[in-house]
Structures are given as C-alpha cells and as structure tokens.
Amino acid sequence: MTPENSFLLIGLGNPGREYNSTRHNIGFMLIDLLCLRLNARGIKLQSKAIVISTVYEERRIIFAKPQTYMNLSGQSVQGLLHFYKIPIENLLVAHDDLDLPFGTIRIRPAGGPGGQRGMASTIEKLGTKDFPRLRLGIGRPPGRMDPKDYVLQDFSKDDMKLLPEVLDRAADAALEFITSGLNAAMNKFNGGLSSDKE
C-alpha cells in the first residue's frame, strides 16, 4: 500500500482501566469498535500508542490509541504520521467535545483545540490545525461542575443506553471518510442521531 492509500485513525483517551468508560475516552471506544467491526488484529506498541492495522476497501488503515495520557497525545500522532509517511489529509483524530450535545458528531477539516488538551497537544506537535477530526459530543457538565471532573466521569445511565448507537454512527462516518473522502463524510454525517444536517 502506498502512503497515499493509507489512513491513520487516532482515538484520544487516557490509558488505564479506571478511565475505560469515562466521557474523555469516547475516542478510544470508537477505535475499539472499528477494530472489532473490521476484525483488525495484531496489536503492537509503537510511538507510545497501541497500534492495530488492517486493510479495508483496498486501503490500509492504521488504528491507534495513544498511551501517554491525554495532554501528551500529540507525541503519538506525530510519531505515527511520520513513521508511516501518511499525508496529513489522511489523518483523522477522534475526540470528545464538550461544546456538542451528547449524540452529535461533527467531522471537520481543521480547527482549534476547543479546550481539548489532546487536540492542543496534537496541534502543537504537528505545527498546524489543518487536519481532519471527528468531534464526538459529550455535552456540557451540569450546574457548576468543573469540566475536568465531568470528562473523567463515566457516562450517565441514560447516555450509556444511546452510546452504542452514537459509536456506530461515528464508525460509519470514519469509514465514509476513508472510502469517499472528507466532504462526502461531512455531508452525510454531520449532525445528531438523526440524519439532520447543520
């Protein structure tokens, strides 16, 4: 596979069992689902990340979950992008987003970190904010709760019921990005659980 025919999909999260089902780890959850759906096997540790690669629709996909903790995620993104010589337009970073209601996903070609420390680290390490990302809405914390505490909590029971549907839709969007391109994925998937557009 040529670098132009290869894609790097990175989900942001925190390593450690205690963080498995927290809101901050929805990026990890998406990567796990994609690997399960595509029967991707062969886990290795590379560039401080858990890495699994597979072939889908004649395209090579490298899935990665950085193991550095969120605020240093950019180290893994930069290392893997350079090692596999993947064009930056073939990178997709999936992360939790406080500014989107739970159940909403947004694919974007570029943008700032929006307070997400993993994205801030990635932008810093890559030296640009012009790369595709998949924003996974987790909603705002209730009342005066500190966002730092909110993102490290498990999803609520109500949200947990909808989470599989949200992740399925996000997985479809990621695969659409790979097979049909950024614009097609944005047109088809930007919105909530229904097919509504922005």
Q: What angle do CA 29, 35, 41 make, to 5 degrees?
A: 135
Looking at residue 195, its pLDDT comes to: 40
Sign of the alpha-carbon torsion through 87, 5, 72, 19: positive
H/E segment holding residue 168:
helix 157-180
* CA distance linking residue 136 with residue 138, whole number of Å: 7
**What are 13-63's pLDDT values in tens digits?**
999 999 999 999 999 999 999 999 999 989 999 999 999 999 999 999 999
Q: Is 183 exposed, middle or buried (0-12, 13-18, 19+ CB in 10 A)?
A: exposed
Looking at residue 2, its pLDDT comes to: 85
Residue written as tokens 């695969």? 175
Looking at residue 153, its pLDDT comes to: 96
Identify whether 82 is a catalytic site residue. no
Looking at residue 198, its pLDDT comes to: 38
Catalytic choice (8, 14, 22, 24): 24
* pTM (2 d.p.): 0.94
Domains and their CATH numbers in the chain: 3-189 (3.40.50.1470)
Mean pLDDT per block of 10 residues along the chain (198 residues) reads 90 96 97 97 95 96 96 97 96 97 96 94 97 97 93 95 97 97 95 48
